[in-house]
Amino acid sequence: MEDNKNKGVSRRGFLSSAVKAGTVGALATGTILSACGESKLSYQDLGLPELLDKAPDGKKLKAGLVGCGNRGTGAALNFLAAGNGLEVVALADVFEDQLLDCKAKLAEKGVEISDDKCFIGFDAYQMLLDNGDVDMVLLATPPHFRPEHLKPA
């Protein structure tokens, strides 16, 4: 019969990992629950900051979006929903139809982007950086383009 001690995870290791994972999961819900489901500890009891639904108010941030496909449009909408004082002010994409679709979806949410802040072509990201008047850039292009975009951004 084979010795199973060195075959994968031991019982002790498994239980230790399960307890750690359970603790992290309980912290993620905001409270640690007893066996009866009653709240025992909160974030404040543990000295941890509370999880917020939105970022706290601060300096107004203007973002430019590079890559206006479905992923980019979703990233822009997520960015806008993440806090107050956040704006998407410029768009850049290789394809005009992608940019126009994104612009229309943002307009449905009350975000109007002027035509002079919309850039099309393989160098659209550079035009956005040069003329977009942005504080930050949301990069939502396919990953193989990003090294080229990260340098100037």
How do residues 60-101 score in pLDDT, each as one tens digit? 899 999 999 999 999 999 999 988 889 999 999 999 999 999
Q: Phi first, then psi: what are they for 90, rounded to 5°?
A: -150, 150
Structure tokens at 46: 């543990």
pLDDT confidence band for 59 (50 / 70 / 90): confident
Measured on CA atoms in the order 61, 62, 68, 73, is the torsion positive or negative? positive
Please give the span between the terminal C-alpha atoms of the chain, in angstroms, as a whole number: 61
For the chain, the structural domain boundaries read 11-46, 61-150
Cα–Cα separations (whole angstroms), residue 150 to 17, 106, 140: 37, 24, 12
Q: What local confidence, expressed as pLDDT, does residue 63 receive?
A: 95
CATH of 61-150, one of 3.40.50.720, 1.10.260.40, 3.40.190.10, 3.40.50.300: 3.40.50.720
Q: Phi first, then psi: what are they for 118, rounded to 5°?
A: -115, 125
Structure tokens at 32: 């640690």
Measured on CA atoms in the order 63, 64, 68, 72, is the torsion positive or negative? negative
Q: What local confidence, expressed as pLDDT, does residue 23 receive?
A: 63
pTM to 2 decimal places: 0.65
